Amino acid sequence: MDFNIPNYVKNVLNRLKDNNFEAYIVGGCVRDLLIGREPSDYDITTSAKPDEIEEIFKDYKTIQVGKEFGTIVVVQPENNIEVTTFRTEGEYKDGRRPSEVSFSYDIVDDLSRRDFTINAMAYDSDKGLIDPFNGLDQLNKKQIMAVGNPTVRLKEDYLRILRAVRFATQLEFTIEKSTYNACKELSDYLKYISAERIRDELFKIMLSNIPSYGLKMMYDLNILNIIIPELIPTVNFDQNNPNHNRSLFEHICCVVDTSPAKLEIRMAALLHDIGKPMTQSIDEKGISHYYNHDKLGADFAREVLIRLRCPNEFIYKVTMLIREHMYHSSIKDKGLKRELNRVGEENIFDLYDLKRADMMCKGDKTKELDGLEQKIRQIEEILEKKEPYNKSQLIIDGNDIISLGLPKGKIIGELLSYLTEKVIEHPEYNNREKLIELAKNTMNSEQ
């Protein structure tokens, strides 16, 4: 077995070994190499103690990210490498951190503390693969299996419950039965894990090739009702509408899978219809409708994203996409310009990606999809021609309005919005003389 390890990683390994220490690449990078994936980064484990690591790499920049836990980061131009001393861990008392860490000279001690067998392998070019827990066998079986007793292992850090789902989703594996049962039994303890750690794992699931695989697993393991309980009413919810041939949760899963792997779009897809169960009404023909579910859904989504401690900019964009996903502008340029004005050039194509995915998951929508693609082409043409749709694109600005005698304040913005609407209706109005004339006429009519 011979891995193609980058030279900058080999340099760190060789320097440690040249100083008479054991050194191995370990964990996720070994797993990825074994299944033919390019690792995003490399971790190294060694018999050298933290002070010895720093001394060996004294001519490098190093960072003490967790020296007390044995980890020193060696900074390299290509990528930073975490170098960690072999260690064993004491009892976990808070479902997150060990009460104590002891350094070891045995690589097996170090591997025995890791979460899943596929992550508990190490490799050295001289010694080959170190695999005391049959991780390679589990890779071949495409299974996620805890190292040792799964209940004990998951109790050490309850986030591992969600990590099991994440790895299974990313790799398209199953979770081994005893590990799966332990995940389900302990899932309620995820409520004690910080929102930030939950969010990071959830986002990785959402960016996988088939996010719905993980979402359905989260539901079955009773994880979804802890992280996003707002989604639970969508499960097995009959939409009772000829435009939909799936239950609401199945539709949501389809939209998530069909959306491009961009986090804002995927999260908008996940939450775009959570307002439906609360807005259901039934007409005289027995058909259900969901008026304003987009607006209510945006409000629910904001609560979810705030709870997950997402940045404000991210929350704004996701909720905007949800609020706008049901808006159907006319095929005319002025309708599309108004949509551009509301959404912004930086968001418009993400919105249409969400609309397309939503439409594709509603059954036979060939004509509607054709219309959607036509709108996208028109929007591209509007932008290419630099046709104005926003007040920032007007020939005049607030200072020009103030010079006409209006005081500073809200009225300036309102007048500019009025002029923008006029320019959207009549692009030829976007010249200084005409806009000044319109502004004066408006001011005179209000006096």
Q: Are 321 and 350 in contact (CB under 8 A)?
A: yes
Separation CA 414–CA 408 (nearest Å): 11
Q: What is the pLDDT along the chain (447 residues), one digit of tens a residue?
A: 678 899 999 999 999 999 999 999 999 999 999 999 999 899 999 999 999 999 999 999 989 887 788 899 999 889 999 999 998 866 666 555 665 678 888 999 999 999 999 999 999 999 999 999 999 999 999 999 999 999 999 999 999 999 999 999 999 999 999 999 999 999 999 999 999 999 999 999 999 999 999 999 999 999 999 999 999 999 999 998 888 888 999 999 999 999 999 999 999 999 999 999 999 999 999 999 999 999 999 999 999 999 999 999 999 999 999 999 998 766 778 999 999 999 999 999 999 999 999 999 987 777 788 899 999 999 999 999 999 999 999 999 999 989 988 888 888 999 999 999 999 999 999 999 999 999 888 887 765
**φ, ψ for residue 141, nearest 5 deg:** -85, -10
> What integer pLDDT is reported at residue 91 of this predicted model?
63
Closest C-alpha to 363, from 266, 265, 242: 242
HSE of 37 in the Cβ direction (CA atoms, 13 Å)? 13
Which of the following CATH numbers is that of domain 7-141: 3.40.50.970, 3.40.50.300, 3.30.1300.10, 3.30.460.10? Answer: 3.30.460.10
pLDDT of amino acid 446 = 62
Alpha-carbon span 353 to 355, nearest angstrom:
5
The set of long-range contacts for 282-288, using a CB threshold of 8 Å and a minimum separation of 24, is 282/240, 286/240, 287/240, 287/241, 287/242, 288/239, 288/240, 288/241
Per-residue model confidence (pLDDT) at position 245? 84
The closest of 164, 358, 366 to 246, measured between CA atoms, is: 358
Q: List, in sequence order, every residue forming a beta bridge with 288; answer none if it has no partner.
A: 282
| R_g of the chain computed on alpha carbons | 28
Q: Which of 311, 217, 308 is nearest to 271 (CA)?
A: 308
Angle at 415 between CA 412 and CA 418, to 5 degrees: 155
Partner residues linked to 146 by β-bridges: 116
Nearest to 235 by CA among 222, 248, 224: 248
- The pLDDT of residue 30: 96
CA torsion, ordered 219, 220, 223, 228, to nearest 10 deg:
10
Tokens coding 397: 């600005």
Give me the pLDDT at residue 28, please: 94
CATH 1.10.3090.10 residue ranges in the chain? 152-329
Give the whole-angstrom CA distance, residue 210 versus residue 66. Answer: 34
- Tokens at 294, concatenated: 């987009």
pTM for the full model?
A: 0.91
How far is residue 311 CA from its own chain's centroid?
Answer: 12
Q: How far is CA 419 from CA 194, 336, 383, 393, in A?
A: 48, 17, 19, 11
Contact yes or no for 343/382 (Cβ under 8 A): no
pLDDT at 319: 98
Which CATH architecture describes the domain 152-329?
Orthogonal Bundle (1.10)
Q: What local confidence, expressed as pLDDT, does residue 67 receive?
A: 78
